[in-house]
Chain A
Amino acid sequence: MLSSRLVLISAVAIAILATVFAISSSFSIYSSNITYDDSKKSVSGSGNNDRTKIATINTPHGVYQTTGDILDPTSQVIDDRNKIVIDPMKYLRTFNYGRVSTLPNGTILREFTLIASDNKVMEISPGMFYNVWTFNGTVPGPTIRATEGDLVRINFINNGSKPHSLHTHGIHPADMDGSLDMVGPHGGRFVYEFYAKPFGVFPYHCHMQPLEEHISHGLYGVYIVDPKKPRPIADEMVMMMNGYDTDNDKENNFYTVNGIPYYYMHHPIQIQKDKLIRVYLVNMLEFDPINNFHLHANMYQLYRSGTSLTPSEYTDMVTMSQGERGILEFTYNYIGNYMFHAHKTEFAEKGWMGLFLVKGKSELDKIFDDGSNNNFAQRNLVTTTTQETLPGGKGDSGRY
C-alpha cells in the first residue's frame, strides 16, 4: 500500500517536473539576460571580439543590434588567412607563365607543377568549413597561361588519397588527355606534355570517376592560351564560376566567382575608368545545368571560348553550361560601384555576386604602378634558372 502510493506520487511528480521543464525551457529563451560563457563568443571570429560591444547588422530590411554574434557572409571576412580556401583578390589577376626555357628548335617550353590533394578542410565562407580537393592548395587551382605554339609541360603529382588526373581542354594527343589513365594516390606522378593550341581560354580539371565528386570538391582551374599576336593591352583578370555542395546532397549550397561567396561584395574589384578590362571567364559549376554572368550598367564584347579575335556578341548577359567559357571585354566610362552577378538570382543570392569599383586614374595610380598587373611584360620573359616568373614573384610561387 505504502509503496504503491509512493510509486504513484513519484510518477505524478515526474510528470509535473517534466511539464515544468518543458515550459521553462520555452520561457528561458525569452529572458534577455541569459548567462553564457564569454570565452565562447571569442571563438566566433566574426570581427566582434569586443565582448561588450553591440554588433549591428544593416540590411535593406532593417537594422538590428545584437549582443550576440553576426551571421553574415555578405559582409563578413574570413579572418584566418591560413584556413581560407583562396585569396580571391590575389587569384583574380595572377597568371602563371611557368618556368620558361627555350628548346633548341626555338620553341618556348613552359613547365608547371600541379599537386593534387584531397584531405584539406578549409574555410570557404565565414565560419563554414568544407573538405576541398585542390590543385596546389586552392580552389580554383592556379591559372596557367601559355602562348599558342609553346610546349606546355605539367609535372603532375598526386598527393591525395584517391587516384586523380589532369585533363586539360584543348588539342593534344590521346595519352596527354588525362581522362583514361589515372595517377595513383600518395605521391603518384605523371608529366603531361603538349603544344598549346589553339589560342583561347580553357578549363583544366581532374577526370577521375566519379567525375561529379572530383569536380564538385574543387579540382579545376583555368588554362589560357594567348594568340601569337597578343590581344590589346588591358587590365586582365580571371574569373572562375563555381559552387560548393557542403552537405553532399548533390545541390550547391554556395555559388561563387573565384572561390569565396560574396567576396567581391565587401572587397570590390578596383578598376580604372576608361581602361579596357578583359575577363577570362570559365564556368565549372557542378550540379546546376547553367550559370551566367551579368554586368551592370555596361555591355561587353563576348569572345566565346576565346578562340577568335572577333567578338561573337555584344551583350551584358552570357549563359554557360559546365565547361563553357569566354573572354569578356568592356570599359567603364563612369566612376562608382557596379554589380556583376549570375542572373540566375538563386546563385546570386547564394554568393555569386560582386562589385567593380570604378575610379579615376589618379586614384588608382598606386595599384597599377607596382607592376603587379602588367602581365604582358612578363609572359615571354625567358629564364634559364629554376626560378619562376610570377607576377611580383610573391606567394607560394615555387610550386608553379
Chain B
Amino acid sequence: MVDINKTDKGGEETIDKPQQHYHLIIEKIKEQLLNKKMILIALIPIIVLGGMIVFLFNPAGQLLLQNSGNSLPEITIERIEFQDAKIVAFLRNTGSKDIAIAQADINDRIQPAAIEPGKTLSRLAIAKVIIPFSWNPGEPYEIGITTSDGIRFHKSIEAAVLTPTPNLEQVSFFAIIGTLVGVVPVMIGLLWFPFIKRLSTNKYIFFLSLTAGLLLFLGIDALVEASKIAAQDVAGVFNGQMLIAMVTIVAFLALLYISEKLVERAATTTSSVKSLKLLESSSSLASAADSRFEEEERKQHELQHRKRLSSSLFTIAFMIAIGIGLHNLGEGLAIGAAVLLGNVAFGTFLIVGFTLHNTTEGLAIVAPIAKSNSKVRLRRLMMMGVIAGAPAIAGMWIGGFLYSPIATIIFLSVGAGAIFQVIYCIMSWILNNSNDKNDIVNDDSNIKNRKGRKNVWLNPPLIAGFIVGMIIMYITSLMVSS
C-alpha cells in the first residue's frame, strides 16, 4: 500500500503542471477507489480461505476427513517439581484433541494423585498433577501420566532436588552464583585490554579472529543446547527446532540492521570529529606505503574510512557485549533450570569450569576496542562487562524459579543470532582492515583493486585465531559438561 501511494504522488506532480483543479480531484477519487479495489483484491483469497476452513469444520467436511486416520493423544510433561513430601508434574495437552488423565505413577508404580484444575484437558491446556510422595534427594525418578485410553507418558529426572522457592536466601544464592559464573569471568577477561592494545596488526588480527572463533563456538553451543531442550521438553506442536531457526535468523538480521545503523550514525555525527582528529594523528594502523600523490583527496578518503572503522569497532564491542549478555542470560537460564530440574548439583568444579569458559568472553569484548584509537574509559569498559555478564544472574532467577523451556530456547536462539551477527561484524572489519594497504596502493581502478586484493582466507593469523578460539572453547567446555 505504501508503494502505491508513493507512485501516485509521483503522478500527482506531473498532473499538477496543467493546473486543472478538477483533474486533481478526479485523480484523488481514482486513488481512493484504487485503494479500495486493492483492499478488495487482497481480501478475496482470505475470504475463499475462510470459506474452505468453515467447510472443513462443518459436518460435510468432517465426513470427508472421517477416515483420514485417528489422531493419537499426546501429553508433554513440561516440568517436575520436588516439594516437601510431594512431587508436582506440570502437563500440557499437546495432542490434537481433548483428553482425560486417568492416573499418575512414580517409577512406573501407580500412586494416588490429584490433578488441578481438572482431569479433562482441552487442546494445549495445562494441568498440575500433585503426587504425595516421600522422595529421596539425589535419586532418579520417572514420573508417568496415563490417559484414559491407557497411553502412558513419562519424564525422567536424573536426581531429585528440592525445588527452589523464591525466598531471599535462594534469590541471593542465585545472584552470587550468577555473579561468579557471569560477571566476574567477563571482568577478568577485560584485563587483557592493555595486552591487546600493544599488539602488532598481525597478532591483533589473530586475537580478533580468536574472538570470532570463541563466539562461533558459543553460537553453535547455544543452538545445540536449544535444540536439545526443544527435543526433550518442548512439545511437538510448538515446532521447537523451527522456532530456534526463526528466532536466530530474526535476531541476526535485526541486530545487524541496528548495528549498521549505529555505525552509520556514528560516522555522520559531529561528535566523532574528535576521534577523527585522534585517528589523523595516529599511526597505529597506518599504511606504510602512503603515496604522496593526490594526498589531500586520498587522506580525506582514508579518514572517512577510518572514522567508520573506529566507530564500527566500538559498535562491534558493544554488540559483542550485548550478544554475550544474551548468551549468558541463556546460560543462566540453563543453569537455573538445571537446578530446578535436578539435573545438576552445584560443585566447585562446575563453577571453576564456567569461570574459565566465560573469561574468554571478556577477551572477546576487549579485542575490538583495543585498536579503536579513541580513549577507552574504565567505566565504559566496566559497563560492557556488566552488560555481558549480569544477565547470567537474571537468567538464574528466571530459570531457577519459573522454568519455561520455550522461553529458554527463545533466549538461547536470540543469543545465537546476536553472536553470529557479531562474528559477521568482526569478519567484515578484518577484511576491510587487511585490505587497507592494497586499497591505498591500487586505488586508481576497481579492476586493479580487485586483482591486487589478497585472498582473505590465505591470512595465517586469521585462520590460526579461529582454530585456536574453537579449541580453547572446546577444552574449557569440557569442564562444564556433565
A interface residue numbers (CB < 8 A to B): 2-4, 8, 11-12, 14-15, 18-19, 21-23, 25-30, 34, 36, 40-41, 43-44, 46, 55, 57, 59, 61-64, 66-75, 125-130, 244, 246-247, 253, 261, 346, 349-351
Quick check: A130 and B103 within 8 Å, CB to CB? no
With a cutoff of 8 Å between Cβ atoms, the chain B residues found around residue A15 in the complex are 247, 250-251, 254, 410, 414
Quick check: B132 and A18 within 8 Å, CB to CB? no
**Closest A residue to B234 using CB positions:** A22
Q: How large is the interface on B (under 10, 10 to 19, 20 to 34, 35 or more residues)?
A: 35 or more
Distance of A12 Cα from B130 Cα, bound (Å) = 38
Distance of A25 Cα from B111 Cα, bound (Å) = 27
With a cutoff of 8 Å between Cβ atoms, the chain B residues found around residue A75 in the complex are 112
Interface of A is mostly: mixed
Quick check: B118 and A44 within 8 Å, CB to CB? yes
- Asked, given contacts A71-B104, A73-B110, A351-B110, whether A66 binds B130 with beta carbons under 8 Å apart, the answer is yes
Distance of A21 Cα from B124 Cα, bound (Å) = 13
Distance of A368 Cα from B251 Cα, bound (Å) = 79
Instruction: Tell whether B133 is near chain A: CB-to-CB under 8 Å.
Output: yes
With a cutoff of 8 Å between Cβ atoms, the chain B residues found around residue A25 in the complex are 126, 404, 406
Instruction: Tell whether B38 is near chain A: CB-to-CB under 8 Å.
Output: no
Quick check: B109 and A346 within 8 Å, CB to CB? yes
Scan residues 388-424 of chain B and give those whose CB is less than 8 A from a CB of chain A.
Answer: 398, 402-404, 406-407, 410-411, 414
With a cutoff of 8 Å between Cβ atoms, the chain B residues found around residue A34 in the complex are 116-117
- Partner of A3 from the list B2, B85, B90, B108 (CB cut-off 8 Å) is B2
Distance of A73 Cα from B406 Cα, bound (Å) = 34
With a 10 A CB-CB cut-off, give which of B112, B133, B257 has the most chain A CB atoms: B112
- Asked, given contacts A18-B410, A128-B146, A129-B149, whether A74 binds B116 with beta carbons under 8 Å apart, the answer is no
**Closest A residue to B135 using CB positions:** A61
- Partner of B132 from the list A22, A57, A244 (CB cut-off 8 Å) is A57
Distance in angstroms from B181 CB to nearest chain A CB is: 22
Distance of A270 Cα from B136 Cα, bound (Å) = 37
- Asked, given contacts A26-B403, A346-B109, A349-B109, whether A67 binds B117 with beta carbons under 8 Å apart, the answer is yes
With a cutoff of 8 Å between Cβ atoms, the chain B residues found around residue A44 in the complex are 100, 118-120
Distance in angstroms from A174 CB to nearest chain B CB is: 38
- Asked, given contacts A61-B132, A64-B130, whether A247 binds B403 with beta carbons under 8 Å apart, the answer is no
With a cutoff of 8 Å between Cβ atoms, the chain A residues found around residue B406 in the complex are 18, 21-22, 25
Distance of A71 Cα from B110 Cα, bound (Å) = 10
- Partner of B150 from the list A41, A73, A247 (CB cut-off 8 Å) is A247
Distance in angstroms from B341 CB to nearest chain A CB is: 13
Quick check: B116 and A68 within 8 Å, CB to CB? yes
Quick check: A18 and B247 within 8 Å, CB to CB? yes
Quick check: B117 and A68 within 8 Å, CB to CB? yes
With a cutoff of 8 Å between Cβ atoms, the chain B residues found around residue A8 in the complex are 253-254, 257
Scan residues 105-161 of chain B and give those whose CB is less than 8 A from a CB of chain A.
Answer: 108-120, 122, 126-130, 132-134, 146, 148-152
Quick check: A64 and B128 within 8 Å, CB to CB? no
With a cutoff of 8 Å between Cβ atoms, the chain B residues found around residue A28 in the complex are 126
- Asked, given contacts A29-B128, A43-B100, A350-B110, whether A244 binds B150 with beta carbons under 8 Å apart, the answer is yes
Question: Which A-B residue pairs are the 3 nearest by beta carbons?
Answer: A246-B150, A68-B116, A26-B404
Quick check: A71 and B117 within 8 Å, CB to CB? no
- Asked, given contacts A64-B132, A68-B115, A69-B119, whether A126 binds B102 with beta carbons under 8 Å apart, the answer is yes
Quick check: A40 and B402 within 8 Å, CB to CB? no
Instruction: Tell whether B339 is near chain A: CB-to-CB under 8 Å.
Output: no
With a cutoff of 8 Å between Cβ atoms, the chain B residues found around residue A23 in the complex are 398, 402, 404, 407
Quick check: B114 and A55 within 8 Å, CB to CB? yes
Instruction: Tell whether B335 is near chain A: CB-to-CB under 8 Å.
Output: no
**Closest A residue to B150 using CB positions:** A246
**Closest A residue to B417 using CB positions:** A15
6 CB < 8 A contacts A-B: A18-B247, A22-B406, A22-B410, A26-B404, A59-B111, A68-B116
With a cutoff of 8 Å between Cβ atoms, the chain B residues found around residue A22 in the complex are 404, 406-407, 410
- Partner of B118 from the list A19, A21, A41, A129 (CB cut-off 8 Å) is A41
Quick check: A127 and B103 within 8 Å, CB to CB? yes
